Amino acid sequence: MPRLRARRQWRIRFVLALLALWMLAAGSAAQAAASAQLQRQREQFAQAYALAQQGDPAWRRDAEALQDYPLYPYLEAAYLLHDLGSAHAARVRDYLARHGALIPGRELRRAWLDRLARKQDWQQYLAFYAPGLGATYDCRELQAQAMQGGTLTFDGAFAALWDAPRLPDACAALLQLANTQGLLTPERLWDRIQRAVRARAAGTLTQTLAWLPVAQQPGAQRLALALSDPAGALAQAGSWPDTGLAREAMTLALTRRARDDDDAARAAWQALRGRFELDAAQVDRIEAALALYQAVSLEPGSLRALAALPATAQTPLTREWRARVALAQGDWPAVLAAIRAMPAAQREEKEWRYFEARALAATGATTQADARWRALARDPTYYGFLAADRVQRPYALCPRDPPAQTTATAAVEADPGMQRAFEWYALNRLAHARREWDAALPGLDHAQRYAAVVLAHRRGWVDRAIFLLNHGAYLRDYSLRFPLAERTRVVRDAHRAGIDPAWAFAIIRTESAWISNARSGADARGLMQLLPGTAAQLARRNGLPWEGAASLDDPSVNIALGTHYLQHLADRFGAQWLASAAYNAGPAALQRWLDKRATLPPDVFVATIPYPETRGYVESTLAFSVIYDWRLHQDPVRLSARMQPFGSAYAVPDAQAPRAAVVCSVEDLAAQGDAPPPAAASTQPAPSASVHAAAAGATP
């Protein structure tokens, strides 16, 4: 009997195992079928979308099979947009009723409203208008109401538009109408002019002053000239009357001129200061600007000028540059004095904590310096890594692994906006994908946003995490925030070019945040943000493939050319950090700085780079090189080993390069013999948030 029972139980287990295998196979088959169906839909959509964009009605051929495909609403919108001039209002209205809230619906509505505005069909404009399309359409809506007999009043929507520092050209007709109806009183006009001055919106100022009473226009014209042409304003200022507006215009012109030519601004100030009865605040603004831009140029006497500024003239920038000039001069007591003159919040920034320790060590207070460096070494940042190197401490990198699934994953996968974003990404239409992502994201809660980032990363869309996971505990998501995308290609091309792969990864992360079709205002393109002219030269010089500017969106082209450009700069300037500075600011700018202070220690040289963007860029790429080296090899080369002095020959770090151990937590660091961070004492000032406050990503 026991043997029979055991045989029966064995049969049951066998049947259950077979059933489980069958269900697994059935599930895999169903999943494969669904995947194949989705791939067919993607191919059908790509064909239909191309036809619809060409205005070919054949796009409807595959429409039936695509009605449950997330991007289906784009097809009809593309067809209607192709020949909007012959589209019937009823068809447009019908589409907007179904899909007006979606991106293609909003595009179609804008295009249709543009057409109606050109025809001045204001009745239909009001019928098709919807809020939230932008200032152009809001201005025209108010204009349409007025043209249809409505009353234009200075409240609500008009007041909100009026408060904007800049408005599109399409709003000019509305503003002119408001002026004609007496709504733009001198008080309101002057309020807008002052806001335009603060926003440096010269176009807004010029437009607005034309509506002032004729007698009031000269004062506003002087402000406009000071804003757009400071040198020209100063040339005329000697003939200006000593009025409040003239004083403000001269102050504005001097502070703006100092930025471009502090010597010329100083000469103008000496010539004009007795001509106007400036108030104390205006004098402070002028003196601060003159001292600041003298310091940025590291001119003789700039340290004395900054230290002599009265407290009322001091700004965060003047305080930080007092410290930077002292650093450039190697005057460590003056560095300490400058840092200790900063307010507590500025003084506690990592940069000034690090340099205060440098100054303490240089003036013999090594015990205090070491304590500060140990405390700072617990930060996984540029200055944290430098501090760790000073006292030979481990690097504090404490990663957490993102979950493959979260409780919010299913909600994200079911979200229509995210479905559209992921489909556009799968079709390699990255601009469309980002627009859908940006539209869908505000509708997700925090958990869902994190799940969306994880999903995107798993699908190869690695740049999404970089923009979202930039605070709190998310900073520990190193695998998401510092992806090893294109790993084989980056490592291979870096080795071929003779540079460190970790550096190449860091440049990509800093330049484009892994957006493969990124485009800058200067037309730099792709992952490593190369200018087409530079890329063409690199391709010719190195025998690399080149098919024109558009090919820079291809990672295989961009990375090969970008790594060779890094190698070219490294050969010229000798060190990774200097080549990074040249990559951002240009070789000519770097050479100017080297001509003045090539002998400075590398950390001091970086701190005295005049361009805030370049200063932050160098800090970022160095810190990111450490992170990527750790991700690639676990024991990163110490940051200080990447900062050889000018005149060194560049070499890829080898097995003999000094490397840092990596520890995870404050507790781990404490176990290594570190005490808790010391409390700030009256002798330990706090550091400065400089103009580049964000040191653009210098904090990993």
248, 511, 613, 667: which is the annotated catalytic residue? 511
CB-CB contact of 271 with 238 (8 Å):
yes
Q: Which two tokens stand for residue 66?
A: 């695509």
CB-CB contact of 575 with 648 (8 Å):
yes
Contacts (Cβ under 8 Å, ≥6 apart) of 486:
527, 555, 559
Q: Which two tokens stand for residue 537?
A: 């030269």
Contacts (Cβ under 8 Å, ≥6 apart) of 696:
510, 613, 616, 617, 620
* Closest alpha carbon to 477 in 491, 489, 490, 467: 467
Task: Say how far apart CA 171 and CA 184 lie, in whole Å.
Answer: 14
* Closest alpha carbon to 467 in 453, 478, 446, 448: 453
CB-CB contact of 350 with 372 (8 Å):
no
DSSP string of 497-545, one letter each residue:
HTS-HHHHHHHHHHHTTT-TT-B-TT--BTTTTB-HHHHHHHHHHHT--
Q: Which two tokens stand for residue 628?
A: 């990527």
CB-CB contact of 577 with 653 (8 Å):
no
* Closest alpha carbon to 287 in 320, 322, 316, 251: 251
DSSP lists the bridge partners of residue 637 as 659
Find where tokens 């106007």 sit: 276
Q: 248 an active-site residue?
A: no
Q: Which two tokens stand for residue 138?
A: 């809001």
Task: Say how far apart CA 306 and CA 338 lie, in whole Å.
Answer: 10
CB-CB contact of 484 with 505 (8 Å):
yes
Write the burial class of residue 238 (CB in 10 Å: 0-12 exposed, 13-18 middle, 19+ buried): exposed
Positive or negative torsion for Cα 170, 176, 181, 187? positive
Q: Which two tokens stand for residue 512?
A: 């484009």
Q: Which two tokens stand for residue 336?
A: 């300490």
* Closest alpha carbon to 225 in 242, 202, 201: 202
Annotate 590-607 with three-state secondary structure: HHHHHHHHCCCCHHHHHH
Q: Give the residue ranges of DSSP H helices in 229-279.
A: 230-236, 244-260, 262-272
Distance of CA 183 to the CA centre of its chain: 39
Could you tell me the CA-to-CA distances from 441 to 282, 435, 477, 676 in Å, in that order?
45, 10, 20, 40
Three-state secondary-structure class, residue 37:
helix
- Count of all residues that appear for the chain in the document: 700
Instruction: Count other C-beta atoms under 10 Å from residue 68's C-beta.
Output: 8
* Closest alpha carbon to 268 in 289, 248, 253, 282: 253
Task: Say how far apart CA 525 and CA 518 lie, in whole Å.
Answer: 6
Would you give the end-to-end CA distance of the chain in angstroms?
Answer: 69
Catalytic residues: 511
